[in-house]
Chains A and B, each alone.
Chain A
Amino acid sequence: MNEPLLSVDDLGIAVDHRELVHRVSLHLARGESLALVGESGSGKSLTARALVSLLPSGLRATGTLHVDGAEVDPTARAAGHRGRQVALLLQDPFTMLNPTMTAGDHIAETLSAAGRPRADVPAEVTRRLAEVGITDPSVAGRYPFELSGGMSQRVALAAALANDPGVLVADEPTTALDATTQHDVLALLRRIQADRGMGLVLITHDLRVAFSVCDRVMVMYAGSIVEHAPAAALRDQPLHPYTVGLLTSVPSTEHYQQRLVGIEGSVPATHTVLDRCAFADRCAHRIDACVAAAPSLVEVSPGRFSACLRTGELAAAVQVRDAAGVRAPAAPGEAVLQVRDLRKVYRSGGATHTALDGVSFQLRRGEALGVVGESGSGKTTIARCLLGLTAATEGEIEFAGVGVVGGRRSTAQRRAVARVVQCVFQDPYSTLNPMHTVGATLAEALAHRGRPVADRNAEVAALLQRVGLAPDLAGRRPVALSGGQRQRVAIARALAVEPQVLLCDEPVAALDVSVQAQVLELLREVNQQQGTSLLFITHDLGVVRQVTERVLVLHRGVVVEEGATDAVLDRPAHEYTQRLVASMPRVGGDWLT
């Protein structure tokens, strides 16, 4: 093995006296690709920032960082390697580019900064854009707001690569993109990395992305590396219980799972678990020794490292259980919700945008119906129309027992509709009023249900237990809850009104994967045991496979395909559905081709 291009030894990152990243070491050879995988709070993004000496101000770093043999300071304001030897690509394509500069200018200024003769720059910009798959020469003259997300991310990639760095650090470069775009950008990234013989550090929360792009994978948890192995080995035989949990938590796109298994609890703060196994509290295999001292990352077999005391004895016990389950036969009743020929046209200035173009469907009692689509498909507009948050341009919505209700609703109509449809929104951090306690939030919802409330406190406690939360959370404010807990409270609030339909608008999209499974399992339970119908809006085919029995595929405001979930996902008929299914990340096989 040749001299590592990038090497980090014992990196620690702290704010005040709280450590956020603890003793991370990594080495990257020329032309090699390494994935750093972890959930929020794992410290993976901070580690990425440290590699280019761009830590947020106020953070301190310890340990050493060498680039091409030379030591650099991870906290330096000016760092010679940054952007030249090691480049950084960020997550959000819509905020990464300067809104007042054209795409071409971004690449050109980086080229000029590298001292290229002025006359060569325009031709070089064209060549660089072509490298990232943009052959339309007019793109160089466009401003960021005139580019799609995928296009912006490509332009940003070209700009990051303009100095021909030896290593590219890509921090969740496709997380904000749609599945089909993510697929293309990842394939591009992999190709460019191979063509240039460039080192790549890919930061991601998605093991499936890591497996398909990188040679080696490091799994981070609460600021430390818990497992490190070649991608194929990690995929086939994960050693650390956390990695196993992470793999198990990903809802399968391929088959229905009898039980969705997540990881109980939530990620602890790094500085609170420095003297023990950080994962111990959530681990099913914990023994007393796990909390007596912090396990170190040891080489289990050549190239394979794990930070678990019980690695040897558990090898057989920890298996990714992934067997195809059998759906309970569905017996949906009469229609509770009928949507007929819904159209929604947005007007701003002189321009019009058709968000929904004649969408019809019905939802039966006890049924779980999925609405799948990418951004701009109109799926959220359906939810807004149903809830009366916006008025449809044409078409009508009929609610069981209430009748047809338009977009502009009186408070009385709103209350009548409330007993038919309740909603769980996407963002757990703003779905609850930060000034109200959990108990007050639930009590307010209870007051709007059909039957009278006998004992408010008892009912609140029952609701909390119903969604798997301790009753004493009633006295807390949302700030004291984790994302998963907040989303459960949001579900409890919706259930408090005892609706016939639970509308879920991407309810787990903002949650870590280990927490998603529990929330999904709860929603399945509500549907299957209580008979509440689900209208489930999502972009994630894995989620739709697990939660729904029937699905609508929405594309640019039109339902392009409709049918039983298993049938649609296994044998997509429409060209768009086929593309969507093909671009879904998978654990096994190479889906990036």
Chain B
Amino acid sequence: MTAAVQPAAAADPARRVRWGWLFWAAVGVVALAVFAALTVRWIAPYEPSAQNLVDSGQGPSGQHWLGTDQLGRDIFSRLLAGARTGLIGPLVVAIGAGFIGTALGLWTGYAGGAVDSVVMRTIDLMYAVPPLLVAIVVVGLFGGGYWLAVGVLIVLSAPGDVRIVRAAVMAQRELPYVAAVRTVGVGPLRIAVRHVLPNVTPTVVANVLLQFVVGLIALSGLAFLGLGVEAGSPDWGLMVAENRGILDLNPWAVIGPAVCISLLAIAVTVIGDRVYEVLSQRTAAR
């Protein structure tokens, strides 16, 4: 018998979800980045790597909208080209870590037992060292490039996913509907995949989006430190490091890529927050 203050008609499944202008603005930002990454070859005013020492370190002008860097490369064209490493690496990190995290989280959260103990102790171990430091050490010492950095970040991001998914799964496991389908005779794999997984989907999706942001920030941070992407390639994090010396000559050479990273990260965070809210409204509605 519930005496909670619960408006009788609170749950109104017929009411349509309003995504809000902020969400669509964020989708717009991501769409722009994707568009730039796909079409940079045709739309960039200059070849992103073309050097022109005569025009080096210039501020914005009609010829170079955002000016040039020390080697006279066009900042705007390089920003467009930077969308490629800005998107692909974080995307692979998010999906890779999300896949590992969801699989392990489901398994450990639902089955428990020895596997759970081993996985959780390993994760405790990984939490003892800040992931960015591990990435710096591994990528630095092993002299790896961009894809090694991406791989390391997948491994380092997965524990967070495992923990979150595991906690969500364990919460679901306690609910009577799981006990009921177990009682009916449904097998553990089917319960985990068909019953529990759909109910933790909001968590998984929100987390994949969050990992994209974490991946983007980490990869650009590594690039800023000269790790990961190849020297000279158009990458936003690397551009900030390369152009820090000409902050006074052409601040756009530094601020431009910094703003690009920030905008993309903010946009994906906004999308993640909103998607989580909407999805959990759908699943939690009772």
Query: Does A571 sit at the interface, judged by CB under 8 A?
Result: no
Interface hit among A305-313, A430-438, A561-569: A430-438
- List chain B residues, Cβ under 8 A from A477: 13
Say whether B8 contacts A433, CB under 8 Å: no
Query: Does B130 sit at the interface, judged by CB under 8 A?
Result: no
Which A residue sits closest to B184, measured CB to CB? A445
Say whether A18 contacts B9, CB under 8 Å: yes
What's the Cα separation between A171 and B4 when bound, in Å?
Answer: 10
Say whether B5 contacts A448, CB under 8 Å: no
Contact of A429 among B3, B7, B179, B286 (CB under 8 A): B286
- List chain A residues, Cβ under 8 A from B4: 45
Scan A409-426; emit 1 where CB is below 8 A from any B CB, else 0. Answer: 001001100110111011
What's the Cα separation between A18 and B195 when bound, in Å?
Answer: 35
Say whether B182 contacts A389, CB under 8 Å: yes
Contact of A434 among B1, B184, B283 (CB under 8 A): B283
Say whether A431 contacts B180, CB under 8 Å: yes
Interface hit among A102-110, A267-275, A279-287, A455-463: A267-275
Which B residue sits closest to A54, measured CB to CB? B5
9 CB < 8 A contacts A-B: A45-B5, A46-B5, A205-B3, A387-B183, A433-B198, A434-B177, A435-B199, A444-B184, A480-B13
Query: Does B63 sit at the interface, judged by CB under 8 A?
Result: no
Query: Does B176 sit at the interface, judged by CB under 8 A?
Result: yes
What's the Cα separation between A423 and B186 when bound, in Å?
Answer: 14
Known contacts: A418-B185, A434-B199. The answer to whether A203 contacts B3 by CB under 8 A is yes
- List chain A residues, Cβ under 8 A from B7: 15, 18, 20
Known contacts: A15-B7, A41-B8. The answer to whether A479 contacts B285 by CB under 8 A is yes
- List chain B residues, Cβ under 8 A from A432: 177, 180
Query: Does B187 sit at the interface, judged by CB under 8 A?
Result: yes
> Using a CB–CB distance below 8 Å, which chain A residues touch chain B?
15, 18, 20, 40-41, 44-46, 49, 56, 91, 171-172, 175, 203, 205, 222-223, 267-272, 387-389, 411, 414-415, 418-419, 421-423, 425-427, 429-436, 444-445, 448, 477-480, 490, 493-494, 496-497, 509-512
Say whether B176 contacts A172, CB under 8 Å: no
Say whether B9 contacts A497, CB under 8 Å: no
Scan B3-23; emit 1 where CB is below 8 A from any A CB, else 0. Answer: 111111101010000000000
Say whether B5 contacts A49, CB under 8 Å: yes
Say whether A172 contacts B3, CB under 8 Å: yes
Say whether B176 contacts A418, CB under 8 Å: no
Say whether A423 contacts B183, CB under 8 Å: yes
What's the Cα separation between A101 and B175 when bound, in Å?
Answer: 31
Other CB < 8 Å A-B pairs besides A171-B3, A430-B175, 4 of them?
A: A40-B6, A415-B185, A497-B184, A509-B1
A-B pairs with beta carbons under 8 A, tally = 117
SS of B interface (majority): loop
Say whether B182 contacts A414, CB under 8 Å: yes
Which B residue sits closest to A513, measured CB to CB? B1
> Using a CB–CB distance below 8 Å, which chain B residues touch chain A?
1-9, 11, 13, 175-177, 179-188, 195, 198-199, 283-286
Say whether B176 contacts A427, CB under 8 Å: yes
Say whether A444 contacts B181, CB under 8 Å: yes
Shortest CB distance A444–B (Å)? 7
- List chain A residues, Cβ under 8 A from B183: 387, 418, 421-423, 494
Known contacts: A267-B8, A429-B286. The answer to whether A493 contacts B182 by CB under 8 A is no
- List chain A residues, Cβ under 8 A from B175: 430
Shortest CB distance B120–A (Å)? 19
Say whether A175 contacts B1, CB under 8 Å: yes
- List chain A residues, Cβ under 8 A from B186: 444, 448
Contact of A423 among B1, B5, B180, B284 (CB under 8 A): B180
- List chain B residues, Cβ under 8 A from A427: 176
What's the Cα separation between A18 and B182 when bound, in Å?
Answer: 41
Shortest CB distance A570–B (Å)? 27
Known contacts: A435-B199, A479-B285, A497-B185. The answer to whether A269 contacts B1 by CB under 8 A is no
- List chain A residues, Cβ under 8 A from B184: 418, 422, 444-445, 448, 493-494, 496-497
- List chain B residues, Cβ under 8 A from A56: 5
Known contacts: A40-B1, A427-B176. The answer to whether A434 contacts B8 by CB under 8 A is no
- List chain B residues, Cβ under 8 A from A387: 179, 182-183
Say whether A269 contacts B177, CB under 8 Å: no
What's the Cα separation between A426 and B1 when bound, in Å?
Answer: 11
- List chain B residues, Cβ under 8 A from A496: 184
Say whether A425 contacts B185, CB under 8 Å: no
What's the Cα separation between A493 and B181 when bound, in Å?
Answer: 9
What's the Cα separation between A56 and B285 when bound, in Å?
Answer: 20
Say whether A430 contacts B177, CB under 8 Å: yes
Shortest CB distance B182–A (Å)? 7
- List chain A residues, Cβ under 8 A from B13: 477, 479-480
Shortest CB distance A13–B (Å)? 9
Shortest CB distance A494–B (Å)? 8
Say whether B5 contacts A270, CB under 8 Å: no
Say whether A510 contacts B2, CB under 8 Å: yes
Say whether B195 contacts A479, CB under 8 Å: no
Contact of B176 among A20, A45, A425 (CB under 8 A): A425
What's the Cα separation between A432 and B9 when bound, in Å?
Answer: 20
Shortest CB distance A91–B (Å)? 5
What's the Cα separation between A172 and B184 when bound, in Å?
Answer: 36
Contact of B198 among A46, A223, A435 (CB under 8 A): A435
What's the Cα separation between A472 and B233 when bound, in Å?
Answer: 61
Say whether A45 contacts B3, CB under 8 Å: yes
Which B residue sits closest to A14, measured CB to CB? B7
- List chain B residues, Cβ under 8 A from A388: 182
Contact of A175 among B3, B182, B185, B187 (CB under 8 A): B3
Shortest CB distance A351–B (Å)? 21
Say whether A269 contacts B176, CB under 8 Å: no
Shortest CB distance A408–B (Å)? 11
- List chain A residues, Cβ under 8 A from B188: 411
Say whether B1 contacts A431, CB under 8 Å: no
Say whether A425 contacts B198, CB under 8 Å: no
Known contacts: A418-B185, A423-B183, A445-B184. The answer to whether A40 contacts B284 by CB under 8 A is no
- List chain B residues, Cβ under 8 A from A41: 6, 8
- List chain A residues, Cβ under 8 A from B195: 433, 435-436
Say whether A433 contacts B181, CB under 8 Å: yes
What's the Cα separation between A171 and B2 when bound, in Å?
Answer: 11
- List chain B residues, Cβ under 8 A from A511: 1
What's the Cα separation between A514 and B185 when bound, in Å?
Answer: 33
